[in-house]
Amino acid sequence: MPRVASRALLFVSLALVSLAAGVWLRQLVAPPAEPGPPPVELATFTGPGGVRFEVEHRPNEYTSSSTDDSVGFLRGPDTLGWEDDVLWVNRTEFPSPKAGDVVRWNLDGPLLVNGRPVQPHPLQPREIPAPGIDLRWDTPGGPNPRDTLTVGWARAGRVLVAANADAAVRVWDADRFRVRTTIALKPRQGVPGGFALRAAVSPDGKRVAVADIVGGGVTLWDAETGKEVGPVPGGTGPVNGLAFAADGWLLVAQGGELTARRLDGDRSRSEKLGAVHGGFTMPFALSSDGKTLAANDGKAVTVYRLAVGPDKLTATRSGSPIGPVTDAGCLAVSPDGGLVAVSDGAAKLALYDAATGQVRQRLRWRLTDPSADPKGLPVRALAFAPDGKTLAVGEAKTVRLYDVPSGRERAEVRSQPVRALAYSADGATLAAGLEHAPGVRLWPTADLQAK
């Protein structure tokens, strides 16, 4: 072989040996490769109602919990939940799945139902910056002069009545935000502390019924002059609820019994309707037309249909009892008498069919306070709007607004603790009785629409 060719072959051989040695040395001294991500795992669970859930997660980044009617999955900082027929991820709600559906929550990408991406529900809870209008009045003082247990509207006009802890009931001109009449109660002998008043205004706005839960007894007053008409006979024990079924008939919850008392003609006439609890919470609710009544005896809610005449009032039970409930439960009846909203005083809020007593819709209660008891339901008052499309729910920090046809919460507005709620007959104003100052707040309902 020629010398030139031999040298070339030698150089090529040396180059190949050097390259191989370099590769071997780099492998010998190079740092180990970065480990890959931990493998993705899949958790499956069949929840209440036959809905199947599939959740992708990394090891040690997943926990789940469930009850008879809810399920929740925690994956790192994110949450998937399904409760009261509402499906949500973190703060976003989605359309409700049905029995047999498969909900897939992957680590990446949209939420899937039956393998298809699902868009958020068009109705989402939103906070509305509506400060409302606080009613102001002069007060002689007392422990809690602006603590307000009762607010109520006449069916005619814009007459608002509020019962306050300074021993007075005030009749308001709600359009001018001024007191028309003050009904002042006499000081109680030997009873310390403030007053716990219930009040109700007749449909025509001409008369006001007043009772002190502690003092007992019911008195009737002229709404225009503020003068006492006289006592309403019948019953013994504390009075914890009042409402007018008609201009001439007053419903009174006293001593654990609900009665209808005639106000015209023979005022000694009364009709026994049924048992109610004797606790602090208002034990019954009436539809705005006075024809449907829901009464809570501390264990169950009974619905009655009322037939009101000048000389007689009769009550006929409707549907099965609704329960269980406690004496802390709140009630409201829709304007047409078709629905009863019930907070059971423990952990459930729902709409029931008044004719059957069956659940129409469960309403999801969002926990906005991380320190709150997830099993507690701090609902203090309920009220249907006159068109029946909105249910207002008052609690310690907010008023929640639910869309009745869908059962979805659509908005909340910040508030002091709520004791009572009532819509004006024209639907233009929502009034709240508040614990301590400012006492009474009005919201124009136009301001309570989520933008």
Are residue 75 and residue 223 in the same domain, yes or no?
no
Residue 83: strand pairing partners: 70, 86
Q: What's the confidence (pLDDT) of residue 237?
A: 87
Are residue 105 and residue 146 in the same domain, yes or no?
no
What tens digit of pLDDT does each residue of 238-273 get?
Answer: 899 999 999 999 999 999 999 999 998 877 778 999
Query: Does a structural domain hold residue 32?
Result: no
Reported in sequence order, the residue ranges of 355-445 that DSSP labels E, i.e. its strands, are 359-362, 381-384, 390-394, 398-403, 408-414, 418-423, 429-434, 440-444
Query: Does a structural domain hold residue 228?
Result: yes
* Residue finishing a domain among 60, 87, 122: 122
CATH number, domain of 353, equals 2.130.10.10
Query: Does a structural domain hold residue 19?
Result: no
Q: What's the confidence (pLDDT) of residue 342?
A: 98
Q: What's the confidence (pLDDT) of residue 1?
A: 46
- At 366 the three-state DSSP class reads coil
Whole-number Å distance between alpha carbons of 370 and 301: 31
Domain of residue 78 covers 41-122
Query: Does a structural domain hold residue 24?
Result: no
pLDDT at 37 over 50: yes
Q: What's the confidence (pLDDT) of residue 310?
A: 83
Query: Does a structural domain hold residue 21?
Result: no
pLDDT at 198 over 70: yes
Are residue 216 and residue 81 in the same domain, yes or no?
no
Q: What's the confidence (pLDDT) of residue 25?
A: 44
Are residue 105 and residue 133 in the same domain, yes or no?
no
Residue 13 vs residue 124, higher pLDDT: 124
Are residue 87 and residue 131 in the same domain, yes or no?
no
Query: Does a structural domain hold residue 224?
Result: yes
Are residue 260 and residue 379 in the same domain, yes or no?
yes
- Mean pLDDT of all residues in 123-131: 95
Domains held by the chain: number: 2
pLDDT at 20 over 90: no
Whole-number Å distance between alpha carbons of 316 and 158: 32
Angle at 160 between CA 311 and CA 393, to 5 degrees: 100
Residue 376 vs residue 333, higher pLDDT: 333
Are residue 85 and residue 131 in the same domain, yes or no?
no
* Residue finishing a domain among 89, 122, 155: 122
pLDDT at 278 over 70: yes
pTM confidence score:
0.89
Nearest of 158, 247, 164 to residue 208 by alpha carbon: 247
- Mean pLDDT of all residues in 122-135: 95
**Residue 3 confidence class, pLDDT cut points 50, 70, 90:** very low
CB 334 within 8 A of CB 388: yes
Lowest mean pLDDT: which of 169-173, 181-185, 337-341, 368-372? 368-372
Q: What's the confidence (pLDDT) of residue 372?
A: 62
Q: What's the confidence (pLDDT) of residue 14?
A: 37
Whole-number Å distance between alpha carbons of 75 and 62: 5
**Residue 165 confidence class, pLDDT cut points 50, 70, 90:** confident
Are residue 219 and residue 75 in the same domain, yes or no?
no
Q: What's the confidence (pLDDT) of residue 195?
A: 64
Are residue 326 and residue 429 in the same domain, yes or no?
yes
Are residue 96 and residue 151 in the same domain, yes or no?
no
* Residue finishing a domain among 91, 122, 153: 122
Query: Does a structural domain hold residue 3?
Result: no
Lowest mean pLDDT: which of 144-153, 364-373, 375-384? 364-373
Are residue 92 and residue 191 in the same domain, yes or no?
no
Q: Cα–Cα distances in Å, from 337 out to 124, 180, 268, 284, 371? A: 27, 32, 29, 14, 37
Are residue 108 and residue 155 in the same domain, yes or no?
no
Query: Does a structural domain hold residue 378?
Result: yes
